[in-house]
A and B are shown apart, each in its own frame.
Chain A
Amino acid sequence: MAGTGLLFALFVLAHMYGNLKLLVSEQAYNTYAEHLRTFGVPMLPNSGLLWILRAVLIVALIVHVYAAVTLWARASGARSVRYAVKKAVAQSASSKTMRWGGVFILVFLVWHLLEFTIVKIDVSGKGATGNNPYRLVVDSFQTPWLTLIYVLAMLALYMHLAHGVFSAQQTLGWTSSARTYRQAQIIGHVVAGIVVLGFLIPPLAILVGLVK
């Protein structure tokens, strides 16, 4: 859970960085997308590195979800008679929503991949195709309902990452003092904040017309 989670955190940081190229120029963004595919050529076939990364992410996702389901199942098995009254006094909004928030992010991920990777859905109806990733993204995010979906998903991602990044440090045994424990909690919010802000800048810039 911790290992795969931290891998995802690194992935979203890198992905967020790539998305910011949208702000530079159409060419910068498309070149970046192109480089993702030609990286390592001719040592690797075209898209070779991309497929290696995809394979790692898919395996990590399966492990991450499997671990979450196991944890969930063990919890219900460990308390078959529930309390009539039970208060949650120490949990945060983030930690309380790890399970359903995680499911939501998963559903979003399916939509997101269909939209930009597998089918390359043209939500705006302006005829953009995968041949010009920049146009596809910019046209898509000129559609407000799509931006809303992404804003909600980023809210969920913030919550999931804030607790997840902290919790992973605790699981790895890096927080064995009051000070390091507190630091880990702060790191969780900082990483989540950077990722989510970075992700939100391009769609919002497109929405208000700064990027066309």
Chain B
Amino acid sequence: MNLTLKIWRQAGPDAKGELVTYQVQDISPDMSFLEMLDVLNERLNDEGREPIAFDSDCREGICGMCGLMISGEAHGPEKATTCQLHMRTFTDGDVITVEPWRADPFPVVRDLVVDRGAFDRIIQAGGFISVNTGAAPEAHSSLVPMEHAMRAFQAAECIGCGACVAACPNASAMLFLGAKVTHLGELPQGQPERWGRVVAMLNQHDLEGFGGCQNLGECSYACPKGIPQDVISTLNHDLRKAMAKGR
């Protein structure tokens, strides 16, 4: 396949960036999107030009590092992470625009790399449970109804990639918050800190400068793990309860 790529190049956090056009030839449809970028980078290296900076780690869809905005869709047109997106999704001759996540709380570090530290600070604010370390307790000592376990597992699939923020017209991180609040709030271990958690995480979310939610649904559509909209309702439910409790 031969493709035209328009890729965002930006030398550093404060540098002015621009879209630069590259042609790539003989791309195998079996390559992943990141492998296609690797091929381009090898060529740029050989030509003595600066390769394109982009993030990746596991390349198997579980670490959440590789988020790219591909022709206006977070992680591209498939329900998968960028590393799991294959070139067969595209057609020969396509023009593909590649941009970093755009949200002020995710500042661009270089080219396509953004700093998602804001998510870490939201987790530090309340996305955890406090337990004693040591020998694992007997699993059957706290029973979890099946429906709660299933919903917690579904929400726990969130890998914190930031596609929800990237896709949201308001740059809101409510799906991320909702996933964490639901994941922990559905389980017995999450109960002691439940009402403080939602308030602390939401305050941190707003402090970081993310936008508010209009329930538009772009986030769930973009989410490579298919986290559904109803986790945002759980977030709102817990917030309402927490406020009623004076949090």
Contacts and interface: CB of A to CB of B under 8 A. Distances in A.
Q: Do A and B come from one complex?
A: yes
A86 B71 CA distance: 7
Interface size of B as a range: 35 or more
Interface string B227-244: 011111111111110000
B169 A88 contact: yes
Nearest to B73: A87
A63 to B, nearest CB: 15
B217 interface: yes
Interface in B75-129: 97, 99, 102-105
22 contacts: A70-B212, A74-B170, A74-B212, A75-B170, A75-B172, A75-B212, A77-B104, A79-B171, A84-B97, A86-B72, A87-B73, A88-B169, A88-B218, A90-B218, A170-B215, A170-B229, A171-B215, A171-B236, A173-B234, A173-B240, A175-B230, A181-B228
Interface in A67-110: 70-71, 74-75, 77-91, 95-96, 98
Interface of B: 6, 8, 19, 69, 71-73, 97, 99, 102-105, 169-172, 209-218, 220-222, 228-240
A178 B229 CA distance: 8
A176 interface: yes
Nearest to A2: B236
Contact of B73 (A89, A91, A163): A89
Contacts of B221: 89-90
A166 interface: yes
B99 A78 contact: no
A52 interface: no
Given A78-B209, A85-B72, A95 B230 contact: no
A167 interface: yes
Given A88-B218, A181-B230, 9 more contacts: A71-B170, A71-B211, A74-B170, A74-B212, A78-B170, A81-B102, A82-B102, A84-B6, A84-B8
Given A75-B171, A78-B105, A91-B218, A173 B237 contact: yes
A171 B216 CA distance: 12
A180 interface: yes
Which of A70, A85, A95 lies at the interface centre, i.e. has the most chain B CB atoms within 10 A of its CB?
A: A85
5 shortest interchain CB distances as A-B pairs: A173-B237, A78-B171, A87-B72, A78-B211, A90-B221
Contacts of A173: 233-240
A64 to B, nearest CB: 14
A180 B170 contact: no
Interface residues of A, number: 36
Contacts of B220: 90
A67 to B, nearest CB: 9
A131 interface: no
Nearest to A184: B233
A88 B103 CA distance: 16
B113 to A, nearest CB: 15
Contacts of B103: 78-79
Contacts of B231: 176
Nearest to A68: B214
Interface string A177-193: 11011000000000000
A174 interface: yes
A172 B215 CA distance: 12
Contacts of B216: 90-91, 95-96
